[in-house]
Structure 1
Amino acid sequence: MRAKIVGVAVAAMLTLAVSACGAGDDKKGDDASAKEPGLVIWADDKRAPVLESFKAQFEKELGVTVKVEAVSKDLQANFVTASQGDNAPDVVVGAHDWIGNLVQNGAIDPVQLTDPQKAGFNADALKAVSYNGQIYGAPYAMENLALIRNTELAPEAPATFEDLVADAKKLKQDGKTEELLSLQVGQNGDAYHAYPLYASAGGYLFGEKANGDYDPADLGVGKPESVKAFEKISALGKDGVLKTSIGSENSTPLFTSKKTAYLVSGPWAIADVKKSGIKYDITPIPGFKGMDKATPFLGVQSFFVAAKGKHKAVAQEFVTNYVTGKDLAKALYTADPRPPALTAAFDEVKAADPDIAKFQAAGAGAKPLPSIPEMSAVWDPFGKAEAAIVGGSDVTETVNGAATAISGAIKK
């Protein structure tokens, strides 16, 4: 689910160009193929077909050619590389936590939303796409983790994480389940899925400035709060609640095969849960007794205007006038059901899909996933520290090692 930069550009991605003719810039009509400028949009495999289905409408109303390109792997890395050359698309679709890296690389421009357009979005989603006081993306979908529960095995939502563990142990002892909880850790850890429990126990990744922006100078990993939080995670590892044998490939199947009553995941898991026929409910991840809420991160999917695109004016028009429209927002939801960031679209789809409202409720108070460039230094050391600690390694030594690795990467 979380996108990380793991590769370099694919040469084929760098050959994209707009198909256009030289005349007719300022004319609009049905024959979009004869119009200038053009518009090239990069999106992943799920979003590209939706945008393609709107292509004729975009071309007619914008009066330009539109080319939608599906980039299946390393979309962020490919976009940054293309922006450093002369092959950038005009619009790219991606996660809000790319913003710091994209701004640092001069790859995207601020999005010029009007005040009424801003008011049409979920306030938390709009905050997530803001960076250094400017809005850099038009948000269209939100996501966060929640507790998905088999209601036949666990009819009541646990009030605390300790209640969840006690109930899960009883279910296992009674032979009704095989695992206490499905929360992905994997052999290399998973900072995103660990964060709600880490936050409940008092840990943090970065402090915040007075204006609410994340402060890269205040790294929480290595502070006493983080050691305390990882002590709780260590205890869950020793108790068999968290396991490195549960990762992204088997976390949802464990739940859909009824081997556990509890799954911590996001909206992306619901399609498989529904296919399994399990009766389920979606509620907030419970926090530790007497400690903070188990606050997940808020992720926001967005449209960005490329700073090095060849048709920046029409790209701004597209992002501000079409991504802010209800029809496109609903179509993107249908292709990949996640709570729409556009309030009008959210209000319509939640009537037919109560899960959407439940995920949003479970994410109440969620903090936007840090989009500062320094966050890229956190994922690997934090995850590996989690996996080691779940596996029984010394907490203080492991956390301090992760802090040293993160700090060193940030200073480079």
Structure 2
Amino acid sequence: MKKGLFALLLVGVLVLSVVASGCISGGGESPSSTTSSPSPTETTTSSPSSTTSSPSPTKTTTTPETECGSGEVVIWHAMQPNELEVFQSLAEEYMAMCPDVTITFEQKPNLEDALKAAIPSGQGPDLFIWAHDWIGKFAEAGMLEPIDDYVTDDVLNGFAPMAQEAMQYKGHFYAMPFAAETVALIYNKNMVSEAPKTFDEMKAIMEKYNDPDNEKYGIAYPLNAYFLSAWAQAFGGYYFDDNTEQPGLDQPETIDGFEFFFQNIWPYMAPTADYGTQQSIFLEGRAPMMINGPWSISDVKKAGIDFGVVPLPPITKDGKEYWPRPYGGVKDIYFAAGIKNKDAAWKFVKWFTTSPEVIKELSLQLGYIPVLKEVLNDPEIQKDPVIYGFGQAVQHAYLMPKSPKMGAVWGGADGAINEILQDPENADIKAILEKYQQQILDNMNG
């Protein structure tokens, strides 16, 4: 692996998509919408471009471990420039080892629309990169190519459990994972000397710093369905169950999670759900902690804050310990239906997603959270406070639903949150969630 070719960059990830659905395509906006929650990993970029990476003339030796195909492999994406730079560099390394292969990256400003227009007409790419939460709707639409014959047990078992789940849908494999993301607790070390290990410790910090009369608060926290998922799912609740394909806003455990949030966290926040406002409060030193994702770290660094990253701390309730379970996303490389060079595409993707050197490079250069077990256990990765902190948070994440029916849930969950926010102190949370549960069911049933 080439070392030191680029400065360490932390990737910005989009919102929601998240998504919230979460987020990951490989690029970057932050999840900020309070009316719809797509994946925080989705990204949009402005000008479409096609880049063909050519083999480096200085690297021509094929190692025995590298399987080489031949011909061109076309990959569509919506990555940010810093991400694309690293991906191209890695592709050049592969092509130096496999000189009969050409890897071409094509950027699409609206990737989903481009794919839906091109794949059915046979004009799509071989591969495309986006968050795992597209896998259900694209598979149901017949726009993905199964790779069941390629994914062996040794390949599958090399990934963390959440990543294994993110590459398959209804018994078939359609994609290969290379990174994950979720939200975590980011704290200012000049205000918080030691990260809270329990929710009670976190609450004590919030109480200490909360001073709304002087526009200072206990915590900064953007609020929408994606961000609130950590608490909705903390006690066993859920917005949507991928197995039953049913919403769960009216489940007692989901109601408990909402009530916990509005009783124990909302009182220490500025009274706004706005993403930009909440983030600014932390960046300006007006809150000791912020709940946000890896896409926010570059701004934290620019603000000059000495910070740490840890998972949201566990809650003790009725003698039991419950971990908040925010939605987690996985970055996938998908195989498109109508793929023109499947064998060469598989060999490249297998190398890219299962080579520890590649995944480590993505982590160190872009701040990606690895899902390859070997890299998760790498001492150098574990020494990086950001990667390690978010990596630990991923262990408690709730995989973003893959079913296309999840699309009907985001609006209802955000609608419930917005109605509660009209009068948080007096809102009948149970009744509101039951109301929007029925609304979601009505939307699902047409």
TM-score (norm. length: structure 1): 0.81
- The corresponding residue for 1:295 is 325
State whether residues 92 and 303 of structure 1, in contact with CA within 8 Å, keep that contact through their aligned partners in structure 2.
Answer: yes
- The corresponding residue for 2:392 is 361
Say which of 310, 327, 352 aligns to 1:283. 310
TM-superposition CA deviations, 1:373-405 (whole Å, max 9, x none):
111111122012112213315423421232122
**CA separation in 1, counterparts of 2:354 and 2:412?**
38
TM-superposition CA deviations, 1:19-38 (whole Å, max 9, x none):
9xxxxxxxx99xxxxx9742
Return closer, same or farther for 1:18/1:158 CA change in 2, 3 Å cut-off.
closer
TM-superposition CA deviations, 1:241-282 (whole Å, max 9, x none):
374x24332333321211111111122222222232322222
**CA separation in 2, counterparts of 1:241 and 1:253?**
13
Count of residue pairs the alignment pairs up = 384
TM-superposition CA deviations, 1:149-193 (whole Å, max 9, x none):
1122122333544543343232234999712211111xxxx2111
Unaligned runs of 5+ in 2: 1-14, 20-37, 54-60, 63-68
**CA separation in 2, counterparts of 1:388 and 1:240?**
19
State whether residues 220 and 281 of structure 2, in contact with CA within 8 Å, keep that contact through their aligned partners in structure 1.
Answer: yes
Return closer, same or farther for 1:280/1:62 CA change in 2, 3 Å cut-off.
same
State whether residues 76 and 98 of structure 1, in contact with CA within 8 Å, keep that contact through their aligned partners in structure 2.
Answer: no
**CA separation in 1, counterparts of 2:78 and 2:143?**
18
**CA separation in 1, counterparts of 2:295 and 2:140?**
30
- Equivalences for residues 8-407 of structure 1 within 5 A: 37-46=71-80, 47-60=83-96, 61=98, 63-72=100-109, 74-111=110-147, 112-173=150-211, 178-185=216-223, 190-207=224-241, 214-216=243-245, 218-235=246-263, 239-241=267-269, 243=271, 245-290=272-317, 292-346=322-376, 347=378, 349-392=380-423, 393-407=427-441
State whether residues 146 and 172 of structure 2, in contact with CA within 8 Å, keep that contact through their aligned partners in structure 1.
Answer: yes
TM-score (norm. length: structure 2): 0.76
Amino acid at match of 2:202: L
Residue 349 of structure 1 and its aligned partner are, at CA, apart by: 4.3
**CA separation in 1, counterparts of 2:160 and 2:94?**
25
State whether residues 76 and 94 of structure 1, in contact with CA within 8 Å, keep that contact through their aligned partners in structure 2.
Answer: no
Residue 68 of structure 1 and its aligned partner are, at CA, apart by: 0.5
Classify the secondary structure of the residue corresponding to 1:76: helix
CA RMSD, aligned part only? 3.4
**CA separation in 1, counterparts of 2:52 and 2:85?**
18
**CA separation in 2, counterparts of 1:88 and 1:16?**
14
Residue 340 of structure 1 and its aligned partner are, at CA, apart by: 1.3
Residue 139 of structure 1 and its aligned partner are, at CA, apart by: 0.9
TM-superposition CA deviations, 1:37-92 (whole Å, max 9, x none):
421101222343323223444445162333201224x3234323322222211111
Q: Percent identical across equivalent pairs?
A: 26
**CA separation in 2, counterparts of 1:123 and 1:103?**
21
| Farther-moved stretch of structure 1 (297-306 vs 174-183) | 174-183
Classify the secondary structure of the residue corresponding to 2:353: coil
Return closer, same or farther for 1:239/1:248 CA change in 2, 3 Å cut-off.
closer
Unaligned runs of 5+ in 1: 20-27, 30-34, 208-212
State whether residues 212 and 270 of structure 2, in contact with CA within 8 Å, keep that contact through their aligned partners in structure 1.
Answer: no
- The corresponding residue for 1:409 is 443
Residue 131 of structure 1 and its aligned partner are, at CA, apart by: 2.0
| Farther-moved stretch of structure 1 (262-271 vs 77-86) | 77-86
